């Protein structure tokens, strides 16, 4: 069976499905080939499932804190099966929404594994049957998968990042290997659900690519929540021991977790899909693209994790749309200079731009800080843990980076990202009236602090 279209997307994850919808808006006949589920890792295994389970963890935390809010103590007993079932309902609902969008836009969703079989030709394999899709343009959006370490044996109690939220039990002692975004999120979530948690990071501090001061601030919060943390340590050996494991770290520590999560990175899904045969240029495992997301082969584009760079769903959204527009003759270019990031720990950590360390190596800088505990809404909500930090160029007042730890930090960072994107100096945030009482006032206050005009921070050398 042969089918044809104007543009085909290899993968229905964040880059693929948003690019497909944009292509349909531009009037193209669109096909999406997806081996598993539309929405990709983000919807089915990563972003959305994690936030759904984190919402349950937030409820557990609120229940334990009931006395602080004027209620008699409430026992918070998590039902992991019910929590995972709720997560799956959220995922299924959103997946159906995307499938509904495809139907509304007349996008042809094809199930199976796609392989590039020549210029303008895609072979679709499903259940041993082979069909061919002929297309004018191709966008490769096959995503990525988690990787593991060879030191770990095969075991149903050793998980990769994409599988941990299908767990059928609540770990007694969870060992999280990797102190990046995924590791931090899972450590925070399972600790709030009641597991004992130990986190191991090979480098000398968690979130090694983020601002050092802010990473240390978040580390202090995790330790107050009784998450054990070992930085600068690696896994020397792992031995199965009854229902659990005996794990020896390079610093001499011995741990006895019953469950292990490996959160040590991801690998692009670029093998076995015909890239080499077609002559598409690669940089290691990643597809080389220009600012228009075009590969080295005409009419072939790539977007999302397969291109390397920021392995973030919201970057993949933008890249998928950009690739679709360029493939269909609309001039569009990616600008990765302003990319907000977020770690959905409890509390959240969000950032955009560069760290204070990076900034001081490049520019004359001024730094403003504002603690959540000085904010009226944070006090009202009982969310006192947190800090907002903005790094600006001391001469031009352009924002170079911003970092937020605190409730709804991932929402608050967008205002600063917009200011950076539009080259708006920090004083314009200071001059913008912010609604009161809101957490967004923390961004206003830190902008004031940059100009020595913070209202709710005492003068230097004094304290409240």
Q: Please work out, in degrees rounded to the nearest 5, the angle formed at the alpha carbon of residue 180 by the alpha carbons of 175 and 181.
A: 100
Which pair of structure tokens corresponds to residue 98?
A: 């995307």
Cis peptide before 70 (omega within 30 of 0): no
Residue count of the chain: 464
Around 462, how many Cα atoms within 13 Å sit in the side-chain half-sphere? 5
How far is residue 130's CA from residue 3's CA, in Å, rounded to a whole number? 12
Residue 164 CA to its chain's centroid (Å): 16
Catalytic residue of the set 119, 436, 451, 456: 436
Instruction: Give me the sheet containing 387-393, strands edge to edge.
Output: 341-343, 348-353, 399-406, 387-393, 365-371
> What is the rounded CA–CA span in Å between residue 245 and residue 215?
29
C-alpha dist (Å) from residue 298 to 31, 242, 278, 289, 295: 19, 57, 11, 11, 7
The residues pairing with 173 across neighbouring beta strands, listed in sequence order, are: 196
CB-CB neighbours of 235 under 10 Å:
20
Strand partners, 159: 261
- Can you spell out the DSSP letters for 47-111? HHHHHHHHHHHHHHHHHHTGGGGT---------HHHHHHHHHHHHHHHHHHHHHHHHHTT-EEEE
Q: Does 300 qualify as catalytic in the annotation?
A: no
Pairing mode, if any, of strands 282-283 and 266-268?
unpaired
Helix axes 80-104 and 14-25, enclosed angle (nearest 10): 30
CA distance 289 to 244: 45
Taking a C-beta distance cutoff of 8 angstroms, is the pair 167, 84 a contact?
A: yes
Number of Cβ within 10 Å of residue 136's Cβ equals 15
Catalytic residue list: 436
């Amino acid at each position: 069976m042969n089918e044809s279209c104007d543009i085909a997307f290899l993968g229905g994850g964040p880059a693929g499905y948003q690019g497909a919808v944009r292509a349909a808006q531009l009037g193209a006949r669109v096909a999406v080939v997806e081996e598993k589920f539309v929405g990709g890792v983000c919807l089915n295994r990563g972003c959305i499932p994690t936030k759904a389970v984190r919402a349950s963890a937030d409820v557990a935390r609120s229940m334990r804190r009931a006395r602080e809010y004027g209620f008699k103590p409430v026992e918070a007993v998590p039902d992991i099966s019910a929590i995972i079932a709720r997560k799956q309902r959220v995922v299924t609902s959103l997946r159906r929404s995307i499938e509904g969008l495809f139907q509304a836009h007349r996008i042809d969703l094809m199930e199976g594994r796609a392989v590039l079989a020549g210029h303008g030709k895609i072979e679709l394999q499903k259940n041993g049957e082979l069909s061919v899709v002929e297309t004018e343009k191709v966008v490769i959006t096959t995503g990525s998968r988690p990787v593991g370490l060879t030191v770990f044996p095969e075991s149903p109690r050793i998980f990769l990042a994409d599988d941990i939220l299908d767990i059928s039990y609540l770990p007694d002692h969870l060992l999280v290997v990797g102190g990046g975004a995924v590791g931090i999120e899972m450590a925070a979530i399972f600790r709030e659900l009641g597991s004992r948690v130990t986190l191991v990071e090979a480098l000398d501090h968690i979130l090694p690519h983020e601002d050092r001061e802010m990473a240390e601030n978040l580390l202090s919060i995790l330790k107050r929540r009784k998450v054990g943390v070992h930085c600068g340590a690696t896994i020397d050996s792992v031995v199965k021991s009854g229902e659990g494991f005996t794990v020896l770290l390079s610093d001499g520590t011995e741990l006895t977790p019953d469950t292990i999560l490996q959160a040590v990175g991801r690998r692009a899904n670029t093998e076995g899909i015909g890239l080499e045969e077609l002559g598409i240029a690669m940089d290691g495992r990643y597809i080389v693209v220009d600012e228009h997301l075009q590969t080295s082969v005409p009419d072939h584009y790539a977007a999302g994790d397969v291109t390397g760079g920021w392995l973030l769903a919201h970057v993949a959204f933008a890249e998928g749309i950009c690739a679709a527009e360029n493939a269909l003759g609309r001039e569009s270019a990616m600008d990765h200079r302003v990319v907000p990031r977020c770690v959905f720990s409890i509390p959240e950590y969000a950032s955009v731009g560069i760290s204070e360390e990076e900034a001081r190596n490049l520019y004359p800088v001024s730094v403003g800080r504002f603690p959540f505990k000085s904010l009226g809404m944070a006090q009202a909500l009982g969310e006192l843990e947190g800090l907002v930090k903005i790094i600006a160029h001391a001469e031009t007042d352009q924002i170079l980076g911003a970092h937020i730890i605190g409730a709804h930090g991932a929402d608050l960072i967008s205002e600063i990202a917009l200011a950076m994107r539009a080259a708006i100096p920090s004083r314009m945030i200071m001059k913008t009236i912010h609604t009161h009482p809101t957490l967004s006032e923390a961004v206003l206050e830190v902008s004031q602090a940059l100009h020595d005009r913070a209202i709710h921070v005492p003068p230097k050398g004094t304290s409240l």
